[in-house]
């Protein structure tokens, strides 16, 4: 290990000794400061020092073709000073290198975690893959700032995405950083998504009329993919969620009690779906595949369909219902029952909602139902010229209007 006074000219001209992989040239005037020259021609500055436990350490300062000799010397003195004061010059570098990229944290920590308990983890994965990771995934956790998230959300707004979709991006990122902080992941102390909002999520409610439901049933019966069509029909008949029906197994059907078990619903709890006579008839007529436990397996994979988008898109267009989403069948199920006098409490149980306010959002009263209900007021107050009829006569509510004189 030769020792000499390192100069800028020496650094330029230094070469590795013959037959050696590398040679370290120590500086005579600055203890522990050295230039490593490799057989390949590469040159790097280092500083050796003794830590507070008396162990010799070596800190890599940087390449000689990037740093000048004076820059390297100043950095070397700073390293020695930190070591003398009891600090670890390598600590910050280790911490920085330990901060994961957002895409790595999502793949290695976040998705495996939510996959274990969150039924909607597939939605999280889709949102991250499409909207977040292509633009933000290569940033380390501590590099992602609020402004960058706002830029992504604003771009989505310009592309016409709904507030709900944009808010989902923000909510997922906020949760990711909350977990990173909880797990004490380097770089996850600050949450750049905290306080962000894309605006109120406007609820979109679309309910089928009875005529539309009839057109839909005809399109379902006419579809070429009867496995998917039958699952869509069962959604309409039961108000179940898509995954509750597509992942249903024959073992989940209780033919005596007329129920379909959902081992794990959206709330994380088990629930049962009530099966009416039409649903029982549909299941009874559905062919079973030998050795396959699923009621509606894909004819290609034998597994539940990950999405019913293509058959549903075909069926709804054939029925002339291009603005109807698959989830709107669940809305319509609740609407049909409420308009026939079924209480919200009962509908809440049928839909498997934990809170009545959720069911209220699904309920929809037709104008005919509202008008009929308004007629009930005449049992209390009758306007002059309107004749009150006895119960059971003159229509559903026993009231008949008398024509004007």
* Per-residue pLDDT tens listing for the chain (405 residues): 788 899 999 999 999 988 899 999 999 989 999 999 999 999 999 999 988 778 889 999 999 999 999 999 999 999 999 888 888 887 777 777 789 999 999 999 999 999 888 777 888 999 999 999 999 999 999 999 999 999 999 998 888 887 888 999 999 999 999 999 999 999 989 999 998 876 665 556 788 889 999 999 999 999 999 999 999 999 999 999 888 999 999 999 999 999 999 998 776 788 899 999 999 999 999 999 999 999 999 888 888 886 788 999 999 999 999 889 898 898 888 888 888 888 888 888 888 877 777 677 667 666 776 677 666 665 666 566 666 554 443 443 333 344 444
Cα 144 to Cα 139: distance, rounded to the nearest angstrom: 6
Cα 162 to Cα 142: distance, rounded to the nearest angstrom: 29
Q: What is the pLDDT of residue 44?
A: 96
β-partners of residue 297 are 304
**200: Cβ contacts below 8 Å, ≥ 6 apart:** 163
Cα 333 to Cα 363: distance, rounded to the nearest angstrom: 9
Nearest to 155 by CA among 119, 130, 183: 130
Q: What is the pLDDT of residue 264?
A: 82
Cα 70 to Cα 29: distance, rounded to the nearest angstrom: 13
DSSP 377: G
Cα 267 to Cα 67: distance, rounded to the nearest angstrom: 58
**294: Cβ contacts below 8 Å, ≥ 6 apart:** 247, 248, 249, 250, 302, 303, 304
DSSP 39: T
pTM confidence score: 0.55
Q: Are 379 and 391 in contact (CB under 8 A)?
A: no
Half-sphere exposure of 316 (CA within 13 A, CB side): 18
């Amino acid at each position: 290990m030769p020792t000499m006074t390192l100069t800028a000219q020496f650094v330029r001209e230094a070469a590795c000794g013959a037959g050696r992989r590398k040679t370290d040239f120590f500086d005579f005037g600055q203890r522990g400061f050295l230039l490593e020259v490799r057989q390949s021609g590469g040159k790097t500055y280092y500083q050796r020092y003794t830590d507070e436990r008396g162990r010799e350490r070596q800190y890599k300062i940087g390449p000689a073709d990037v740093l000048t000799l004076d820059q390297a010397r100043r950095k070397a003195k700073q390293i020695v000073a930190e070591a003398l004061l009891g600090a670890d010059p390598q600590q910050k570098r280790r911490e920085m290198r330990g901060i994961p990229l957002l895409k790595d944290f999502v793949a290695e920590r976040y998705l495996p975690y939510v996959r274990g308990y969150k039924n909607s983890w597939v939605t999280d994965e889709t949102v991250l893959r499409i909207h977040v990771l292509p633009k933000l995934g290569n940033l380390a956790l501590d590099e992602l700032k609020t402004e960058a998230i706002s830029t992504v959300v604003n771009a989505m707004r310009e592309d016409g995405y709904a507030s709900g979709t944009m808010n989902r991006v923000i909510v997922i990122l906020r949760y990711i950083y909350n977990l990173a902080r909880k797990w004490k992941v380097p770089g996850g102390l600050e949450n750049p998504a905290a306080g962000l909002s894309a605006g109120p999520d406007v609820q979109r409610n679309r309910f089928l009329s009875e005529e539309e439901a009839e057109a839909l049933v005809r399109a379902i019966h006419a579809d070429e993919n009867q496995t998917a069509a039958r699952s869509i029909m069962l959604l309409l008949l039961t108000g179940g969620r898509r995954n509750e029906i597509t992942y249903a197994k024959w073992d989940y059907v209780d033919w005596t009690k007329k129920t379909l078990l959902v081992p794990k619903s959206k709330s994380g709890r088990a629930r049962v779906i009530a099966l009416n006579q039409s649903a029982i008839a549909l299941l009874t007529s559905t062919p079973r595949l030998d050795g396959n436990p699923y009621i509606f397996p894909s004819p290609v994979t034998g597994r539940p369909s990950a999405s019913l988008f293509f058959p549903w898109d075909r069926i709804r267009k054939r029925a002339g219902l291009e603005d109807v989403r698959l989830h709107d069948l669940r809305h319509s199920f609740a609407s049909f029952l409420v308009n026939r006098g079924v209480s919200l409490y009962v509908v809440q149980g049928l839909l498997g909602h934990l809170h009545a306010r959720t069911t209220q959002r699904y309920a929809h009263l037709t104008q005919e139902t509202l008008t009929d209900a308004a007629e009930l007021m005449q049992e209390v107050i009758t306007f002059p010229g309107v004749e009150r009829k006895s119960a059971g006569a003159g229509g559903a509510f026993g009231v008949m209007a008398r024509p004007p004189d």
